[in-house]
Amino acid sequence: MLETKTLNQITLHDEPSFRHVGLYGRLKEAMASRNMRFHVLENARSLGGGGAARLLNLAFWDPSAHAEVLDEPDLEADQLMHNAWHVLAREACGEDHRSADALLLGEAVASAFDVYLIGRTLGHAPDSSFLESQIAAMSYSSEAAGCSEEQFSELLERMSREPEKAFEELRQLLFDVSSELVAAPDLDSAASVLASHRGHPMFALLHHYELPTWVLYARSYATTCDRVEKIRALDRAMRDADDAIAWLEENWLD
């Protein structure tokens, strides 16, 4: 049902779009050096098509066991980087990697990296399939959040002008909201969490991400949903850094 493959047996797509992003090569090497494995469905169609891999990834994914479940032995370059940040986050969190704080910190870093990549890629690779898919999806989410086309264009401009800052702003929002939702005792408290962050500059992108899955996964699988000081210290270090991307490169990659 699942065939195991290494990175060199996977076809990577859209790599030229990130030729100018030095971190791409480093993250790819991080995955290769750790001999991370991918699980490929032998016959995804027999399991209902493309939704099968998505279900398995969202509900049963574990970076200690494999990088990702795939329908075919094909992977977009941006998703490889997403996987790499999860692996690096697990290593950085050590024995606390199964706590809710650690799971959500890894998700926040890996997911917020999208806006860094958008900022770095705009103007460099206009034909990138990554830009085409991500900007369309983010535009839809921001419109649903009441963001006008002009406001969304301004948001993209901010990503392009200050990609590192955009990354850290979104990372903080994703971590804060998801960890507060995990701790919320009831519906009213959860609604209050969302309301308390609606003035955040990245709030329009919040529901672009799989927050319901993050929260449910953490509540179901985390070893603890209590605050873990080691993980909170990692979060504070990124907040305090002049450049959170550089901090991650120095502390998680070097």
Taking only the tens place, the pLDDT of each residue in 1-18 is 788 999 999 999 999 999
Nearest residue to 208 via CA among 125, 140, 161, 153: 140
pLDDT tens digit string along 147-204? 999 999 999 999 999 999 999 999 999 999 999 999 999 999 999 999 999 999 999 9
DSSP-assigned letter for residue 7: G
Question: Based on C-alpha coordinates, what's the Rg of the chain?
Answer: 18
Quick one: tokens of 218? 């953490």
pLDDT tens digit string along 227-245? 999 999 999 999 999 999 9
pTM (2 decimals)?
A: 0.93
Quick one: tokens of 243? 């450049």
The answer to whether 197 touches 177, Cβ cutoff 8 Å, is: yes
Report domain extents, the chain: 77-253
The answer to whether 141 touches 208, Cβ cutoff 8 Å, is: yes
Q: Give the mean pLDDT of 104-128.
A: 95
Q: How many angstroms separate the CA atoms of 53 and 40, rounded?
A: 9
| Predicted local confidence at residue 246, as pLDDT | 98
Q: How many angstroms separate the CA atoms of 135 and 150, rounded?
A: 14
Q: Distance of CA 128 to CAs 134, 170, 183, Å?
A: 10, 22, 39
